[in-house]
């Protein structure tokens, strides 16, 4: 049986061993399953473990590879899917009590893509109820309970891809699938010290995924490195006629190979001076060190500033109105009161009240924001800043009052559908991870991946992992 | 790090954005809503620690709350009603900022998000005008 360190190997390294038949997908899957059974409940990381499916898929992968039919770098690699992705015949709870018994008779497109490349699904990752679509005040806003951070179990993983972050950080799977409408991949990746890619809006099909704010919902990988994110993204990206939000065929697909980096362009990096009003001291120090690394290894790092405007306000209205529409029957039926969180039980009533005129004003502001950001990317390939201004927060914290700060980059990045990646860049004095974020022009997912790769080629923060006993 | 105007909406992450609130006041529910349940008379005072709204903004908030209570009041506790009132009040300054942002009649709303993935706004290069035929060199 594989030793402890194998749980933290990258997809790329696992793939090498699997392809060369030095590592059995069945052994790897069994090992991850045992570890997930042991540590998953400690962190409330999983909504559901699916050992039968996992072993069946692993055995199929092993047989194929033994016969010489190797499908590629995800073949035989175990992963977890956020529990808002439909998997035929399995409960898909959306993290919420009103949907605890929901079962779909089809797979989400992302699940089909991962099946096609031979990945092995270990189970469904826990999540914040309705991905936070009705709002939430506490980390406990989940059918599975509060997701605990493997670096410090008294702290949260952030949401809404809370289980995905915990699973990857704790070495319970090689990667996980998360989703982001606003912050739900970047924040858990930062809090958990893992790498997370928020693709350009429309690069990954949402068919079979819970809709929250359909004009902002995105699906992406949480993994051990930017390279791993690229490999998973390559498997799940692409146009899908079943999701009209996906980009056209010629712009949807993504291919990746490490050799691409040999001919990659030098990146022009904009270091954002106004992304956060301030950073907590424990975060500021690693982020400043990360800035020095970037400046040392790239000759094109210059200060940059985000345009000023009501971007967060626009994003707030868009999410509020679209989520009220997405969960209209839940709100109107009163079943919203079955949600765990006190804010989630009522916010939908308020969100229903916003006018169409205000929504359209938000969409006009979005159009202006898109043009302003696109103009900024005339000068820079990527923008860089801290992923979050604070480290993982204590589990009982009231999120509504305990943490208050503007997030214009989150607003702009998400209303404009821009790709972003969060990579680990150090730790606070209390050994909580800190993340560095790169944001790119719409469609230029490769630039943010490249930026993450460059940073990780000169640092080893992404190789650190918590010690679990 | 640089500064951002303090008027920016202060919400940390998506969780609370979805509720469209800015963190501010902690309310004492009994001060706000007298009715036990259902749509009742609206309290006149604003909760402490919230930004003062214009009369028009206050009227809009009151109308919004009245609508919620008329439709859903019977299923809400007093605490929930107070929370709803707070959420509605706290959302108003954000709405006002959004509405105040200058947009033109011709500005197109991004009705279904289409990321700017190509240089659509740049006209394609004009084809070069045909050159006049030059005389044969050796004629």
CA distances for A144 relative to A42, A48, A147, A159, A211, angstroms? 11, 9, 8, 13, 20
Indicate whether A167 pLDDT > 60.
Answer: yes
The answer on pLDDT for B40 being more than 50 is: no
pLDDT, tens digit (0-9, with 9 covering 90-100), for A324-372: 999 999 999 999 999 999 999 999 999 999 999 999 999 999 999 999 9
Please give the average per-residue pLDDT across B77-92, as a whole number: 96
pLDDT at B28: 25
CA dihedral A24, A117, A204, A330 (to 10 degrees): -70
Q: What are phi and psi of A421, to 5 degrees?
A: -135, 145
> Alpha-carbon distance B52 to A176, whole Å?
45
User: Measured between alpha carbons, how far is A395 from A221 in angstroms, rounded to an integer?
Assistant: 24
* Overall domain count for chain A: 1
Residue showing tokens 């709405």? B95
B15:A134 CB<8 A: no
Q: Do B3 and A277 touch (CB under 8 A)?
A: yes
Q: Which residue of A has its CA nearest to B2?
A: A274
Q: What does the pLDDT read at residue B114?
A: 67
Q: What's the token pair of residue B42?
A: 């609206």
Q: Measured between alpha carbons, how far is A351 from A347 in angstroms, rounded to an integer? A: 6
pLDDT of A21 > 90? The answer is yes
Domain that holds residue A17: 4-463
pLDDT of residue B19 exceeding 50, the answer is no
Q: Can you tell me the mean pLDDT for B16-36?
A: 32
Residue A441 tokens, joined = 């022009």
| Candidates A216, A247, A405; nearest CB to B10 | A405
Query: Residue A262 has what pLDDT?
Result: 62
Phi, psi dihedrals of residue A82, rounded to the nearest 5° = -55, 140
DSSP A254-321: ----GGGGGGPPPP-EEEESSS-S---HHHHHHHHHHHHHHHHH-S-EEEE-PPPSSHHHHHHHHHHH
The answer for residues whose C-beta is within 8 angstroms of residue A143's C-beta and 6 or more apart is A47, A93, A95, A96, A97, A100, A126, A129, A340
Query: Which of A309, A351, A400 is opposite residue B16, by nearest beta carbon?
Result: A400
Whole-angstrom Cα distance, residue A413 to residue A306?
11
Give the distance from residue B129's alpha carbon to the nearest chain A alpha carbon, in angstroms. Answer: 29
Task: Look up residue A180 and give its DSSP letter.
Answer: E
The CA distance from A132 to A82, in Å, is: 13
Q: How buried is residue A37: exposed, middle or buried, by Cβ count under 10 Å (0-12/13-18/19+)?
A: middle
Residue A277: per-residue pLDDT: 94
Where are the alpha helices (H) located in A171-225, listed in sequence order? 186-192
- Cβ neighbours of residue A356 closer than 8 Å, sequence gap 6 or more: none
Q: Is the pLDDT of residue A181 over 50?
A: yes
Determine which of A38-42, A167-171, A302-306, B134-138 has the lowest per-residue pLDDT on average.
B134-138
Catalytic residues of A: 82, 160, 184
Model confidence band, residue A299 (pLDDT cutoffs 50, 70, 90): confident
ipTM entry: 0.90
Per DSSP, A80 falls in state E
Nearest CA in chain B to A354: B64
Q: Is A208 helix (H, G, I), strand (E, B) or coil?
A: coil
- Is position A431 within any domain? yes
Residue numbers in A near B11 (CB within 8 A): 312, 316, 404, 406-407
Interchain contact, A353 vs B17, CB within 8 Å: no
How far apart are the two ends of chain B, measured CA to CA in Å? 73
> Does any domain span residue A266?
yes
Whether residue A145 is predicted with pLDDT greater than 80 in this model: the reply is yes
Structure tokens that stand for A85 in this block: 């992705």
B128 Ramachandran zone, left/alpha/beta (phi>0; psi -120 to 50): beta
What is the band of A420 on the pLDDT scale with cuts at 50, 70, 90?
Answer: very high
Confidence of residue B35 (pLDDT cuts 50, 70, 90): very low
pLDDT value of residue A395: 98
- The lowest-confidence range among A421-425, A457-461, B13-17 is B13-17
| pLDDT higher than threshold 70 for residue B25 | no
Residues 20-49 (B) with a CB less than 8 A from some CB of A: 20-24, 26
The contacts of residue A364 (CB under 8 Å, 6+ apart) are B103, B107, B108, B109, B110
Task: Please report whether residue A468 resides in a domain.
Answer: no
Q: Enter the tokens of residue A318.
A: 């868009």
Inter-chain CB proximity A184 and B117 less than 8 Å: no
| Residue A205 forms part of a structural domain | yes
Which helix H or strand E contains A427, and what residues bound it?
A: strand A420-427
User: Number of helices and strands (H, E) in chain B?
Assistant: 4, 0
Task: Return d(Cα B130, Cα A143) in angstroms, integer.
Answer: 70
pLDDT at A260 (0 to 100): 76
**Which range, of A270-274, A442-446, B35-39, B129-133, averages the lowest pLDDT?**
B35-39
Residues 6+ apart with CB under 8 A from A211: A217, A326
Is there a domain that residue A469 lies in? no
Cα–Cα distances in angstroms (integers) from residue A432 to residues A99, A176, A401, in the given order: 33, 21, 22
Size of interface A-B (CB pairs under 8 A): 234
Separation of alpha carbons A160 and A189, rounded Å: 11
In a domain, A378, yes or no: yes
Report pLDDT digits (tens) over A389-404.
Answer: 999 999 999 998 887 7
pLDDT of residue B131: 43
Is A356 inside a domain boundary? yes
Nearest-by-Cβ selection for A406 from B9, B26, B75: B9
Is A366 close to B110, i.e. CB distance below 8 A? Answer: yes
Tell me the pLDDT of chain A averaged across its residues. Answer: 96
Reply yes or no on whether the pLDDT at A68 is more than 60.
yes
The answer to whether the CB atoms of A273 and B5 lie below 8 A apart is no
**CA dist., res. A437 & res. A405, Å (int):** 17
User: CATH number for the domain including A240?
Assistant: 3.90.1300.10
Q: Which phi and psi (to 5°) does residue A323 adopt?
A: -70, -35
Q: Going by DSSP bridges, is the β-strand pair A148-149/A152-156 parallel, antiparallel, or unpaired?
A: antiparallel
Subunit contact B16:A343, Cβ cutoff 8 A: yes
Using a CB–CB cutoff of 8 Å, tell me whether B90 touches chain A. no
What is the pTM assigned to this prediction?
A: 0.89
Q: DSSP assignment, residue A325?
A: H
């Amino acid at each position: 049986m594989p030793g402890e360190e194998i749980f933290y190997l990258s997809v790329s390294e696992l793939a090498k061993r699997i392809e060369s038949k030095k590592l059995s997908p069945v052994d790897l899957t069994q090992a991850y399953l045992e570890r997930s059974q042991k540590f998953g409940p400690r962190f409330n990381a999983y909504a559901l473990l699916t050992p039968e499916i996992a072993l069946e898929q692993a055995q199929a992968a092993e047989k194929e590879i033994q016969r010489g039919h190797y499908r590629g770098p995800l073949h035989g690699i175990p992963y977890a899917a956020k529990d808002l992705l439909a998997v035929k015949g399995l409960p898909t709870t959306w993290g919420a009590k009103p949907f605890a018994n929901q079962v779909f008779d089809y797979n989400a497109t992302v699940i089909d893509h991962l099946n096609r490349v031979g990945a092995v699904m270990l189970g469904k990752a826990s999540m914040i109820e309705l991905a936070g679509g009705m709002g939430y005040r506490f980390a406990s806003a989940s059918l599975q309970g509060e997701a605990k951070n493997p670096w410090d179990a008294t702290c949260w993983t952030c949401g809404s891809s809370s289980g995905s972050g915990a699973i990857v950080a704790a070495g319970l799977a090689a990667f996980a699938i998360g989703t982001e409408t606003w912050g739900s991949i970047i924040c858990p990746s930062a809090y958990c010290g893992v790498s997370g890619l928020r693709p350009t809006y429309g690069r990954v099909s949402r068919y079979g995924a819970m809709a929250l704010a359909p004009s902002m919902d995105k699906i992406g990988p949480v993994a051990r490195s930017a390279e791993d994110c690229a490999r998973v993204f390559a498997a799940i990206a692409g146009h899908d006629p079943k999701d009209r939000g996906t980009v056209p065929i010629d712009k949807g697909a993504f291919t990746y190979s490490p050799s691409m980096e040999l001919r990659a362009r030098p990146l022009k990096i904009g270091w954002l001076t106004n992304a956060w009003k301030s950073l907590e001291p424990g975060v500021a120090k690693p982020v400043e060190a990360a800035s020095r690394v970037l400046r040392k290894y790239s000759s094109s790092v210059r200060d940059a500033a985000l345009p000023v405007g009501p971007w967060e306000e626009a994003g707030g209205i868009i999410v509020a109105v679209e989520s009220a529409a997405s969960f209209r029957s839940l709100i109107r039926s009163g079943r919203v009161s079955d949600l765990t969180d006190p804010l989630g039980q009522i916010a939908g009533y308020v969100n229903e009240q916003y006018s169409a005129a205000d929504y359209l004003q938000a969409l006009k502001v979005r159009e202006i924001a898109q043009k302003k950001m696109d103009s900024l990317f005339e000068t820079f390939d990527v923008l860089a800043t801290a992923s979050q201004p604070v480290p993982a927060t204590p589990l009982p914290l009231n999120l509504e009052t305990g943490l208050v700060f503007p997030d214009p980059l989150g607003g702009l990045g998400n209303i404009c559908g821009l790709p972003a990646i969060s990579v680990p860049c150090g730790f606070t004095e209390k050994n909580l991870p800190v993340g560095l974020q790169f944001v790119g022009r719409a469609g230029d997912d490769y630039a943010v991946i490249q930026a993450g790769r460059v940073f990780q080629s000169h640092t080893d923060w992404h190789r650190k992992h918590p010690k679990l006993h | 790090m640089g500064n951002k105007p303090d008027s920016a909406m202060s919400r940390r992450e998506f969780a609370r954005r979805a509720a469209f609130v800015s963190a501010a006041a902690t309310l004492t529910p009994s001060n706000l809503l007298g009715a036990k349940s259902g749509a009742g008379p609206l309290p006149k005072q604003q909760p402490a620690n919230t930004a003062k709204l214009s009369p028009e903004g206050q009227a809009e908030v009151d109308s919004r709350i009245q609508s919620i209570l008329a439709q859903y009041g019977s299923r809400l506790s007093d605490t929930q009603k107070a929370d709803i009132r707070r959420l509605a009040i706290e959302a108003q300054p954000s709405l006002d900022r959004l509405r105040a942002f200058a947009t033109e009649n011709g500005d197109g709303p991004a009705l279904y998000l289409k990321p700017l993935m190509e240089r659509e706004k740049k006209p394609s290069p004009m084809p070069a005008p045909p050159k006049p035929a030059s005389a044969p060199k050796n004629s």
